[in-house]
Amino acid sequence: MVQNGVELWRPSTLIVDSSGSEMFFSINDARLRIPSRSRFFAVFVALLIISVPQPDYAAERPVSFVNEVMPVLTKAGCNVGVCHAKAGNGQNGFQLSLLGFEPLEDFEHLVKEGRGRRLFAGAPERSVLLLKASGQVPHGGGVRLEPSSEGFALLREWIRQGTPYDRDGDPKLVSFEVEPARGTVKRGAEQQLTARAKYSDGSVRDVTGKALYESNDKAMAEVSERGLVKISDIVGNAAVMVRYQGKVSVYSASVPLGAPVENLPSSKSFVDEQVFANLKALGIPPSAVCDDATFLRRVTLDIGGRLPTEEEAAAFLASKDEAKRDKVIDELLRSPDYADFFANKWTALLKNRRDDASDTVSNFAFHAWVRDSFLANKPYDQFVRELLAATGTVIGNPPVAWYKRVKEPKQQIEDVAQLFLGVRMQCAQCHHHPFERWSQDDYYSLTAFFSQVGRKPSGTRGEDLIFHKRGIAVAENMKTGVPLKPGALGDAIPEIAADEDPRLKLADWMGSKNNPFFAKSLVNRYWKHFFVRGLIEPEDDIRDTNPPTNPALLEALEKHFIASGFDLKELVRVITQSRAYQLSEEPNEHNVVDRQNYSRYYPRRLQAEVLLDAIDRLAGTQTDFANLPPGTRAVALPDNSYNRSSQFLRVFGRPEAESVCECERVQSSSLAQSLHLLNAPELKAKLATPTGRAERLAKEDKPAEAKVRELYLAAFSREPRPQELKTAIDYLNEPGTAANANYQDLIWALINTKEFLFNH
Amino acid sequence: MTDFVFNSRYCSMLLAALFFGASLGLASPSFAQSVGLPAPRLLTTTPMGAKVGSQVEVTISGEHIEDADELTFSDRRITATRKLNATGQPEPNKYVVTVAADCPVGIHEARVMTRLGISSSRAFSVGTLDEAVQTKANTTLATAMELKVNSICNATMTQRAVDHYVFEATKGQRVIVDCATRGIDSKLDAVVIIADAVGRDLLVERRGGVLDFTVPTDGKYVIKVHELTFKGGQPYYYRLAVSELPVGAPIVRLPSTKPVNSFSWPPQGLKEQAELAETEPNNDRTRAQKISLPCDIGGSFFPAADVDVFEFEAKKGDVWWVEVASERFGLPTDPSILVQHVARAGDTEKLTDVAEFSDIPSPVKVSSNGYAYDGPPYNAGTADILGKLEIKEDGLHRLQISDLFGGTRNDPKNVYRLVIRKAAPDFAVVAWAMHMELRNGDRNAVSKPLALRGGATMALEVVAIRRDGFDGDIDLAMEGLPEGVTASGLKIPAGQSRGLMLVTANQNAPRAVGSGTLFGRAIIDGAAVNRPCRLASFAWPIPDSWGEIPSPRLMADVPVSVSGLEFAPITVSPPKEVQTVIAGEKLTIPLLHTRRSEFSGAVLQLRAMGSGFDRTPQFDVSLTADQSQAVLDTAALKVAPGDYLIAFYGGAVAKYRHQPEAVTAAEENHKKVMQELMAIEAEVKKLTEAAKAAATEAKPEADKAVEAATAKQKAAAAAVTAAADRLKAATAAAAPRDIVDIVVSEPIAIRVNPAEKK
């Protein structure tokens, strides 16, 4: 939309747009940007333009509905989902296709619907379309096109020409590019983008003013409606997605800090090489490698979902073994804690949700299957294959439980695509994906893989036996009615015979070495697990228009993962052994602004279950979960049902397993969390329990110093600093209070530190 | 969304509750009634098995077995005697079981004879490993029970706990850990884990398989066992075997009971071993295995997504019968077969589907395990295959067999047997105690043993799987019945699959137990054939079908008993002689009621069972009258002339009194001990007075006598208290309570004569 537009001459041809510090002259498709301080120059240019004879639409060429009218409607926001492209019947009976993906349908709606009353060739400016769009008559969507705007003029001219539709031979949009495609931009600087559309007749048009722009990280880069990118003071890589008529292009900006990068830690593997190369390129000096205590606590929390025990911490700190970090990683990967913690992560994403008591057995079985798979280090492709192509009964083959939760083929492919491929296909069910190349055919071709899933009653209420139903797999495109054979996101799938389970073919495709999504999606997800931020964010929205912040690293991780035979433990090993993972969270003078290049560790609050277990460990207590053995850890809970009885888990955001998105887990802080930690009865009871640590320490006959050391090792995996030790002992020695109360207070205080609540 | 889900669930529960209430209201005015007259049920034996050639002490528990006497086994080479205490008196519920050296290894049925008759069965294993018994809690690593390699432990799972065992092994040793649960009637879905010495899990098995563990280093290893959802208690028992096996040797699983649907395998005369083995690779048309028909092939659904392809030549008009067994071996498979005709022209092939085979459907509707009873919870059908293959064109045919459940599973133990034969018409039959809707959700009555009360008739539902086009009548018969018990088979009519067997104990039948044998009999191709009928039952009574899915199995034998002490609440007796009627006319049958109980409700709604008359509309008979009549309209029922055997059945709520004779005995005992107490009190009084009056030198002696008498008095008082408690318990048990159960009349023979032609 034009802001502060001033009409100088024929309103459709010359627009002066002075928004902020910039000024544009636009004549049809040509644009000239003039700094606002050059007012004199501006007036000169304006006069010059006025003196040039302007083209006449009617005399020169007919207005193209597809190539010119549609972009105006799209740019004006008429055909977004909340307006006239709303599913159902559009807005107040006037429907347009989403973002103009169906021009012919839009033409029919505009020209023929409503008995043609929307357009009036006799007096084009009196057309309902223009009167509404310009706000001259009441319009729920407000003013979308100023009467003085170029778009308004174009629509008026098209109406005047008799609302023609494009002829067969008219040029078609074939490609679309943004320039520059990438570049290095200083912090606080600006970059004007130019969008060019190339047509089938070889012509190229500047469509900068008609394209749509969206930054993938608004904190780093903002972009105006006319393609001017403004970089903030955050360093790293940003991308701007530019869309035009169903085509998408992307501008990638590298925003360096430019500080000297010296004394990099020695690289442990390709991970460090790529992380440090990126930091060097951006001029961001990394923080130092963290100390042993921080490392042990961090890696134990990240792999095992628990705090190190005091004994583990003491032994690790005392060890002089140079390989002790690598060894502890291996030890953690061997332990069932790893399997429990990652099963907790995956079962929520795989919707292991209890809605009824009769779900109990299947949920336990499914959780156990996931957990055992991680314990046995089942290759990831095999794990996914067993899930996708599950057959039989839940007890006999627990991944069948996924089919109990996710029943419809559409839901199945949407979940599979998002979770295992990092591709969000939901949009393509009803229309072409607005940011991606996925069409409805792609969507239904993927659905076809699940079209032959047969179900038989199992004898257990709510559970079906799942089997492959013989037949040729097809799914009908809901819009066109055309039956489609299985197709995997643009990749050709060989003919699938009626006897072959198409899901196995999908699994074959996913696990093939050349699959562009499968390994990438997983390594990005796991990278995020350990580094808080994915190389692509959100981690399940991988697309050309959302490039990774470190493409070389992502590619290297992907290759390593595939070469390892989809070995998840090896992936965790290579990530956690890296110096990059072991950097301190303490920023140096330069890298405090870095939020995406991993120049330091980004602290993260402990997940709900991990925090509850950590508190139990420190307080020397156990949380009792219904019908589970005493001592069951919160990270080992099989499903979401325990959230109902645990206010703690709810307050700290344990997911309900309703979504395949990791975002369902709430990691943000809240007042309720603070209050809970400060004075919830549950916490008080843990501190005061007669079998708890406070009571034991109060009774134990050993020096107070040793007891404080035990507490610090248990809470932070480190020795107390001299001042901390003194403060603690002074407090414990305060007269007039019972010893057990003092120990309770001390533990309470430790729990309420950021050092305890965060993995850092 | 969440709210909607919650609300809709809430609504469903409310509706269910309303429905439940309404159903109860229809069935009976009483909400407190229970389902099924007391039946003796042996629920556990501890231990659950014994080593062959050994003697072991066994403790039993169950329902209505307080007065159990003899413990018997389906194999006579296992015997039991009551365990006697120090005074030579039998200890309650304890037996000494002797397993002869020649007793076959495997599962045998254990039962006890009680006041009510023979109990339901409990699987009793006989094996070759040394037996151990879990004697104390072992729910932590610290309390782990030591287990020797090559031994088997009998244990009961603790609720919300993990049982721990520890064994010692050396590097390279191959240790097999197997856990028998469902296969020995336990409710346990076992999770078995091998962990290192500090309890960190190494190998896990949750699907009833075995753990095949190669010991990485010398040392101790821990086995953890728990229920999948951490349930526990008496019904959740197990036998955990740890044994050493040479590398490469095949694993032999612990013995297991057989699923119900296995009754239909094998076909008569089939050899033990298949004649031919599938030869991999035979996964596609280019590598199809050549066979000729008939054939008998053994194969395996291995590796994952395995397809075995066979090719054979056949002639137009040939008819073959294809049968596959795999699920009936107790395997989690679902075989599927496709047969295609192959027409080759050069390098191209034209394939035409000839037949597709999948499941053998249950001949009768199987329960959906919902709240209302909608069919027997026994599935005689199977995921295996039995079908007719009609060749439509001469030439090459290709048959491919795959496992619809085998897409991702890599287990060579998932085997199959494929038989293609010329028609060999035959049948297989299975029976189970007939059930009907008595009260929603309660399946308690379906696990009844054949323990008859005097005057009772019990109905068994008999279901046939017909082979290779046999569609004639199947008559049902039973032999080996104890004195005073008769059996009448309501035949499986031609072309149908369901019949009934009525087992009746006359009122005066003496207390006894017999080993019955059930048969199906038919004329096939002019020859009489006799096929044994297996009996199926549940391992546990199921009072709540929503909380528990039944898991029935086949029984090894069919014992039939008569209580001799308790009688049916009512006997509905038609005349013994054949009732005759002319086709098209109505037949009125007088029914005599022998009532031995009060009833809740005034009428008994009766329905007819038996071919020809089972569509008779339900009719009411009075529960207070001594007789009634049934009117059968042969015109409305369109009954053809012939001989029929039918019975009537319905549900009645009896005011059942449990063991009223125990009240009399308890009263008498109470009276006796009271008298003894009074006598000793008088004695104490007398001795006390004597002691008071005694001279100094006689005083110690007199005091001693008082002391001794006082001790006797205390013992007598305790005996009175105990007798009072017993009386109270017996009186409470004998108090009338509403129990709904199935009432089946004695059988009625009917001859329908043809109408005279006018």
Name residue, tokens 């090559």: B150
pLDDT surpassing 80 at residue B446: no
Tell me what pLDDT residue A38 has: 54
Q: Quick one: closest CA in B to A469, which residue? A: B404
Q: Which of B176, B183, B170 is nearest to B151 (CA)?
A: B176
Q: Quick one: closest CA in A to B193, which residue? A: A372
Residue B4 half-sphere exposure toward CB, CA atoms < 13 A: 1
Q: Within chain A, how many helices (H) and strands (E) appear?
A: 30, 20
DSSP structure class, residue B46: E
| 3-state SS assignment for residue A36 | coil
How buried is B76 (Cβ within 10 angstroms: 0-12 exposed, 13-18 middle, 19+ buried)? Answer: exposed
Name residue, tokens 């009338």: B736
pLDDT digits (tens, 9 = 90+) for A464-494: 999 999 999 999 988 889 999 999 888 888 9
- Long-range contact set of residues A47-54: C-beta below 8 Å, sequence gap at least 24: A49/A8, A49/A9, A49/A14, A49/A25, A50/A8, A50/A9, A50/A14, A54/A9, A54/A10, A54/A13, A54/A14, A54/A27
Q: Percentage of residues in chain B with pLDDT exceeding 90? A: 85
Q: Which of B213, B173, B174 is nearest to B193 (CA)?
A: B213
Contact residues, chain A, for B9 at CB < 8 Å? 355-356
Q: Quick one: closest CA in B to A368, which residue? A: B206
What ipTM, to 2 d.p.? 0.87
> Does B206 contact A369 at a Cβ distance shorter than 8 Å?
yes
* Cβ atoms of B503 and B452 closer than 8 Å: yes
Pairing verdict, β A228-231 and A221-223: antiparallel
Cα separation, A686 vs A750, whole angstroms: 14
> Does B368 contact A457 at a Cβ distance shorter than 8 Å?
yes
pLDDT surpassing 60 at residue B32: no
Amino acid at B153: C
Quick check: bond before A11 cis, omega within 30? no
Cα separation, A497 vs B351, whole angstroms: 12
> Does B230 contact A335 at a Cβ distance shorter than 8 Å?
no
Contact residues, chain A, for B336 at CB < 8 Å? 470
Write out the DSSP string of B427-491.
EEEEEEE----SSTT--GGGG--SEEEET-EEEEEEEEEEETT--S-BEEEEE-PPTTEEEEEE-
In Å, how far from its chain's centre is CA A292?
32
Tell me what pLDDT residue A740 has: 85
* Cβ atoms of B383 and B359 closer than 8 Å: yes
Among A355, A364, A454, beta carbon nearest to B228: A364
Rounded to a whole number of angstroms, the distance from the CA of A459 to the nearest CA of chain B is: 6
For residue B29, name the pLDDT band (cuts at 50, 70, 90).
very low
Q: Name, in order, each residue with C-beta under 8 angstroms of B621's C-beta and a sequence gap of 6 or more.
A: B572, B591, B593, B603, B604, B606, B628, B630
Q: Quick one: closest CA in A to B369, which residue? A: A459
Among A336, A396, A629, beta carbon nearest to B230: A629
- Please compute the mean of the pLDDT values over residues B275-304 and round it to a whole number: 94
Model-wide pTM > 0.90: no
Tell me what pLDDT residue A55 has: 43
Write out the DSSP string of A527-574.
HHHHHSS-SSSSTT---TTS--SSHHHHHHHHHHHHHTTS-HHHHHHH
Going from the C-alpha of B453 to that of each of A506, B512, B513, B536, the distances in angstroms are 62, 11, 12, 21
* Cβ atoms of A69 and A119 closer than 8 Å: no
Q: Which of A397, A452, A632 to mutate to test the interface with B (most CBs of B within 10 A)?
A: A397
Tell me what pLDDT residue A670 has: 93
Cα separation, B301 vs B411, whole angstroms: 8
What stretches of A13-115 show up as alpha helix (H) in DSSP? 39-51, 57-60, 70-75, 103-107
Strand partners, B32: none
Name residue, tokens 């749509």: A212
Rounded to a whole number of angstroms, the distance from the CA of B163 to the nearest CA of chain A is: 11
Cα separation, A665 vs B10, whole angstroms: 27
Amino acid at B547: G
Pair of tokens at residue B304 = 């994952």
Contact residues, chain A, for B406 at CB < 8 Å? 391
Contact residues, chain B, for A336 at CB < 8 Å? 200-201
- Please compute the mean of the pLDDT values over residues B572-597 and round it to a whole number: 96
pLDDT surpassing 90 at residue B661: no
- Please compute the mean of the pLDDT values over residues B20-42 and round it to a whole number: 60
| 3-state SS assignment for residue B49 | strand
Element (H, E) at B152: strand B151-156
- Please compute the mean of the pLDDT values over residues B117-144 and round it to a whole number: 97
* Cβ atoms of B340 and B354 closer than 8 Å: yes
Written in H, E and C, the secondary structure of B394-430 is: CEEEEEEEEECCCCCCCCCCCEEEEEEECCCCEEEEE
> Which A residues in the span 297-336 are in contact with B, Cβ-Cβ below 8 Å?
334-336
Q: Which of B100, B97, B89 is nearest to B59 (CA)?
A: B97
Exposure string over B438-477, b if 16+ CB within 10 A, otherwise e: bbbbbbbbbbbbbbbbbbbbbbbbbbbbbbbebebebbbb
Cα separation, A156 vs A138, whole angstroms: 19
Cα separation, A77 vs A82, whole angstroms: 9
pLDDT digits (tens, 9 = 90+) for B378-422: 999 999 999 999 999 999 999 999 999 999 988 899 999 999 999
Rounded to a whole number of angstroms, the distance from the CA of B327 to the nearest CA of chain A is: 12
Among B161, B207, B409, beta carbon nearest to A395: B207
Tell me what pLDDT residue A315 has: 97
Rounded to a whole number of angstroms, the distance from the CA of A133 to the nearest CA of chain B is: 36
* Averaged pLDDT, groups of 10, chain A, 760 residues long: 34 43 48 52 49 46 86 85 77 81 84 79 85 86 86 89 86 92 92 95 92 90 94 90 88 92 92 97 96 98 98 97 98 96 97 92 96 96 97 92 91 93 81 73 92 89 89 90 90 89 96 94 98 94 89 97 98 98 95 92 97 98 95 96 95 94 91 94 95 95 95 97 96 84 95 97
Backbone phi and psi for residue B581, each to the nearest 5 degrees, phi listed first: -150, 150
Q: Name, in order, each residue with C-beta under 8 angstroms of B47's C-beta and a sequence gap of 6 or more.
A: B56, B58, B131, B133, B154, B239
Q: Quick one: closest CA in B to A392, which residue? A: B405
Q: What angle do CA B650, B654, B660 make, to 5 degrees?
A: 145
Cα separation, B460 vs B674, whole angstroms: 49
Contact residues, chain B, for A368 at CB < 8 Å? 191, 204, 206, 228
pLDDT surpassing 60 at residue B372: yes
Cα separation, A651 vs B584, whole angstroms: 77
Q: Which of B405, B506, B502 is nearest to B461 (CA)?
A: B502
Cβ-Cβ pairs closer than 8 A, A with B, add up to 107
> Which A residues in the span 497-536 are in contact with B, Cβ-Cβ below 8 Å?
499, 501, 503-504
Rounded to a whole number of angstroms, the distance from the CA of A695 to the nearest CA of chain B is: 24
Among B206, B338, B400, beta carbon nearest to A365: B206
> Does A368 contact B228 at a Cβ distance shorter than 8 Å?
yes
> Which A residues in the span 658-687 are in contact with B, Cβ-Cβ below 8 Å?
658
Q: Is A294 on the interface with B (CB under 8 A)?
A: no
Cα separation, A650 vs A646, whole angstroms: 7
pLDDT surpassing 60 at residue B22: no
Could you tell me the end-to-end alpha-carbon distance of chain B, in angstroms, rounded to an integer? Answer: 74
Contact residues, chain A, for B231 at CB < 8 Å? 627
Q: Within chain B, how many helices (H) and strands (E) appear?
A: 4, 50
Among B369, B407, B546, beta carbon nearest to A468: B407
Contact residues, chain A, for B160 at CB < 8 Å? 627-630
Cα separation, B424 vs B356, whole angstroms: 20
- Please compute the mean of the pLDDT values over residues B321-331 and round it to a whole number: 96
* Cβ atoms of A496 and A505 closer than 8 Å: yes
Among B1, B230, B370, beta carbon nearest to A628: B230
What stretches of A319-456 show up as alpha helix (H) in DSSP? 324-334, 336-349, 360-375, 380-388, 401-405, 409-416, 440-447
Tell me what pLDDT residue B21 has: 35
* Cβ atoms of B452 and B563 closer than 8 Å: yes
Tell me what pLDDT residue B610 has: 93
Q: Quick one: closest CA in B to A364, which residue? A: B229
Element (H, E) at A575: helix A568-576
What stretches of A70-116 show up as alpha helix (H) in DSSP? 70-75, 103-107
Among B203, B369, B408, beta carbon nearest to A389: B408
Higher pLDDT, B660 or B339: B339
DSSP structure class, residue B378: -
* Cβ atoms of B201 and A375 closer than 8 Å: yes
Among B200, B305, B370, beta carbon nearest to A336: B200
* Cβ atoms of A640 and A659 closer than 8 Å: no
Tell me what pLDDT residue A458 has: 84
Neighbours of A315 (CB within 10 A): 14
Backbone phi and psi for residue B125, each to the nearest 5 degrees, phi listed first: -95, 140
Cα separation, A65 vs A166, whole angstroms: 6
Cα separation, A613 vs A714, whole angstroms: 12
Cα separation, B33 vs B440, whole angstroms: 12
List the single range of A543-552, B210-219, B485-494 with lowest mean pLDDT.
Answer: A543-552
Cα separation, B78 vs B101, whole angstroms: 10
Strand partners, A480: none
Tell me what pLDDT residue A28 has: 45
Rounded to a whole number of angstroms, the distance from the CA of A504 to the nearest CA of chain B is: 7
Q: Which residues of B touch A (CB under 8 A)?
A: 1-2, 5, 9, 139, 160-162, 189, 191, 200-201, 203-204, 206-207, 226, 228-231, 305, 307, 332, 334, 336, 338, 356, 366-370, 379, 400, 402, 404-409, 546, 549
- Please compute the mean of the pLDDT values over residues B98-111 and round it to a whole number: 98
Tell me what pLDDT residue A39 has: 54
Among B200, B228, B406, beta carbon nearest to A335: B200
